[in-house]
Amino acid sequence: MAGIKVLVLVGSLRAASINRQIAELAVGQAPDGVELRLFDRLGELPFYNEDIDTADVAESVVALRALAAEADAALVVTPEYNGSIPGVLKNAIDWLSRPFGSGALKDKPLAVVGAAHGQYGGVWAHDETRKSFGIAGARVVEDLALSVPSATLEGKHPRENVEVAEALRDIVGKLTAEVG
């Protein structure tokens, strides 16, 4: 696993979000030889518009695409908003899908995890995120899933939940094993 780079995207902009905590936990417990790189600027991306997807595209888009191009895999950590994908994450997917057919994550393994209110922990958003990234060209690893009902954390950091921490470590390990 030496030298593997994993792009990490968080679908929540809140500094104290549980999903950000899950992403930071993943970064902190990365296996030896694996570097998880959190792109923390989704809120800076302009709404996708083909008219502005030119040589003069926003610097935040250039930075996202460059980090994705350097990555060997991607881990997406997202909540569920109104039963679906948060807008900032969907916008990032749109930027990463271009140029269509050869986006920066084309054929790279990708896993989706996260937490949300409700008894299913964001399953609908996670399924929609997998679908959108798959259409955008990533190689979604369907069986790598973790949907955490936020109430099960009882107000504690995800690192304090042994089951969540172990499941996340396992997912990152299996995701990096998909790099080929």
pLDDT tens readout for residues 134-143: 999 999 999 9
How far is it, in rounded angstroms, from Cα 8 to Cα 118? 24
Q: Is the peptide bond before 99 cis (omega within 30 degrees of 0)?
A: yes
Would you tell me how many other CB atoms lie within 10 Å of the CB of residue 149?
15
pLDDT tens readout for residues 17-51: 999 999 999 999 999 999 999 999 999 999 999 99
Cα 90 to chain centroid, rounded? 11
So what's the pLDDT on residue 1?
Answer: 53
Q: 45, 39 in Cβ contact below 8 A?
A: no
So what's the pLDDT on residue 79?
Answer: 96
**Token duo for residue 122:** 């964001």
So what's the pLDDT on residue 171?
Answer: 98
pLDDT tens readout for residues 51-69: 999 999 999 999 999 999 9
Query: Three-state SS for 161?
Result: coil
Q: What average pLDDT does this structure show over 69-80? A: 98
- Measure the CA angle with vertex 151, ends 145 and 155; round to 5°: 110
